[in-house]
């Protein structure tokens, strides 16, 4: 027996998944975003360049595909995220519309250790505003997400954490300050943090080790080392969120795992999810467009929702959500092989009239077909035996109250539509 690949899943009931997507599409239309689609495979170099060579995603988690043809010297990979692809698409297609407000959803791939809420193939809804200078865009995006989670999906068990990473000059000035703090406490740091201190110092804040986390609570904060412009933007972001009635907490250790961010970063997280508690994350990336090949920078901001984690949050309240109602199901039961062709013809007629219809074609006993129809939640069973065939009629059984009635075959559509 074959088993699915580690860290992947078979989703056998997509109703909640589709509900989340449909509601999000409505929300995106309301905020004037367009849906786009980019490939699942991309040049590996795109992510190396954009996410950063020292990030976990690039160093450990990429699904790289070896080229089949030696002449193709470019390696490709399964996308680990979508922001870099959106930016590549913006540059490659010479998009002139600014801001370019776009979204998409689909599978992403990261070679991570699988656990609850963490997969190697998972799904994201990704949204970006490329060419968005004002920090007010960040506030509007956060408000839109907060409305989606709280009003549309009726979630209340989550928190919004925000931080401000300043501009590259701010971080340049801040790094030595943090470095000397870490040097002072290097005897308490874990091995990974000692390594990160040298290679990618801000990443120490991602450490899960309790002693390190305790130490970082008292570490100098980047938000206290912002230049005047960034400081004003940080104040503006906070006051925008307050004016828009978005509850948030400032987490000065929030740096996010991807190197392209500057200024605003945020995550929506829920303790109900356990260890993998972040179900949405995003932020501003003002240098990425140039990094990916454009002549000029385009200040931009975006976010991605982790579908699997969002679904985990929604499962307990599933029954309160207005999920799509399935149409009434009608099942045709031919009593013997002789009635099967007629059953097919009638089924076709019902399908033409948009009536959801199934038909049993394996010659099971009446009792077994009735049991199956009941299990499938059929509203009406249409029974076809020798008599019905001769008389051009059908016996219709109402599966809710058990009433049976014989009607002309030409009347079926009218009857079921009523």
Helix (H, G, I), strand (E, B) or coil at 181: helix
CA 402, 407, 412, 417 torsion-angle sign? negative
Q: Which stretch binds ligand HAM (CB under 6 A): 115-123, 224-232, 384-392, 395-403?
A: 115-123
Query: For residues 341 and 365, what is the distance between their CA atoms, to the nearest angstrom?
Result: 17
Q: Using the rule CB under 6 A, which residue among 27, 50, 124, 262 binds ligand HAM?
A: 124
Query: For residues 351 and 416, what is the distance between their CA atoms, to the nearest angstrom?
Result: 12
Are the CB atoms for 108 and 83 separated by under 8 Å? no
Contact between 280 and ligand HAM per CB under 6 A: yes
Q: Which stretch binds ligand HAM (CB under 6 A): 117-125, 136-144, 214-222, 369-377?
A: 117-125
Q: Using the rule CB under 6 A, which residue among 49, 79, 101, 110 binds ligand HAM?
A: 110
Q: Which stretch binds ligand HAM (CB under 6 A): 78-86, 311-319, 367-375, 401-409?
A: 78-86
Contact between 126 and ligand HAM per CB under 6 A: yes
Contact between 302 and ligand HAM per CB under 6 A: yes
Q: Using the rule CB under 6 A, which residue among 27, 55, 102, 128 binds ligand HAM?
A: 128
Contact between 83 and ligand HAM per CB under 6 A: yes
Q: Which of 172, 210, 213, 207 is nearest to 193 (CA)?
A: 207
Please return the burial class of 273, using the count of CB atoms within 10 Å of its CB with bins 0-12, 13-18 and 19+. Answer: buried
CB of 407 to ligand HAM, least distance (A): 52
Please return the burial class of 115, using the count of CB atoms within 10 Å of its CB with bins 0-12, 13-18 and 19+. Answer: exposed
Task: Restricting to residues 89-108, name those near ligand HAM by CB under 6 A.
Answer: none
Task: Name the residue nearer to ligand HAM (CB basis): 129 or 396.
Answer: 129
CB-based contacts of 101: which residues, under 8 Å, 6+ apart?
Answer: 31, 32, 33, 34, 127, 128, 129
Contact between 56 and ligand HAM per CB under 6 A: no
Task: Name the residue nearer to ligand HAM (CB basis): 52 or 283.
Answer: 283
H/E element, 249 = strand 249-250
Contact between 303 and ligand HAM per CB under 6 A: yes
Are the CB atoms for 269 and 279 separated by under 8 Å? yes
Binding site for ligand HAM (CB under 6 A): 81-83, 110, 112, 117-119, 122, 124, 126, 128, 257, 278-283, 302-304, 306, 308-309
């Amino acid at each position: 027996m074959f088993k699915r690949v580690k860290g992947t899943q078979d989703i056998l009931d997509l109703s909640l998944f589709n509900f989340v997507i449909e509601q999000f599409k409505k929300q995106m239309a309301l905020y004037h975003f367009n849906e786009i689609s980019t490939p699942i495979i991309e040049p590996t170099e795109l992510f190396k360049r954009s996410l950063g060579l020292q990030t976990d995603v690039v160093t450990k988690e990429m699904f790289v595909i070896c080229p089949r043809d030696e002449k193709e010297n470019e390696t490709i990979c399964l996308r680990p995220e979508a922001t870099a692809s959106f930016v590549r698409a913006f540059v490659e297609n010479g998009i002139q519309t600014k801001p370019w407000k776009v979204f998409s959803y689909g599978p992403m791939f990261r070679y991570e250790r699988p656990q609850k809420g963490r997969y190697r193939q998972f799904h994201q809804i990704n949204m970006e505003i490329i060419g968005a200078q004002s920090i007010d865009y960040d506030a509007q995006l956060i408000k839109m997400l907060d409305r989606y989670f709280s009003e549309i999906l009726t979630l209340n068990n989550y928190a919004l954490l925000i931080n401000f990473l300043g501009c590259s000059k701010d971080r340049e000035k801040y790094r030595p300050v943090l470095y000397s703090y870490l040097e002072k406490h290097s005897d308490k740091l874990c091995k990974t943090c000692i390594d990160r201190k040298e290679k990618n110092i801000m990443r120490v804040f991602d450490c899960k080790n309790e002693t390190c986390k305790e130490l970082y609570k008292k570490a100098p904060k980047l938000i206290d080392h912002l230049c005047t412009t960034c400081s004003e933007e940080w104040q503006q972001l906070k006051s925008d969120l307050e004016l828009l009635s978005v509850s948030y907490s400032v987490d000065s250790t929030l740096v996010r795992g991807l190197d392209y961010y500057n200024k605003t970063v945020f995550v929506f997280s829920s303790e109900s999810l356990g260890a993998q508690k972040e179900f949405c994350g995003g932020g501003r990336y003002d240098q990425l467009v140039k990094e990916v090949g454009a002549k000029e920078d385009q200040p931009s901001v975006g976010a991605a929702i982790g579908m699997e984690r969002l679904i985990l949050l929604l499962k307990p309240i599933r029954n309160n959500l207005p999920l799509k109602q399935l149409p009434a199901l009608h099942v045709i039961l031919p009593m013997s092989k002789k009635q099967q062709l007629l059953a097919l013809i009638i089924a076709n007629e019902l399908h033409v009239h948009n009536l959801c219809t199934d038909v049993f074609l394996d010659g099971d006993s009446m009792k077994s077909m009735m049991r199956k129809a009941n299990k499938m939640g059929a509203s009406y069973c249409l029974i076809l035996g020798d008599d019905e065939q001769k008389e051009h009629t059908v016996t219709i059984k109402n599966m809710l109250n058990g009433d049976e009635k014989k009607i002309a075959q030409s009347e079926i559509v009218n009857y079921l539509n009523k």
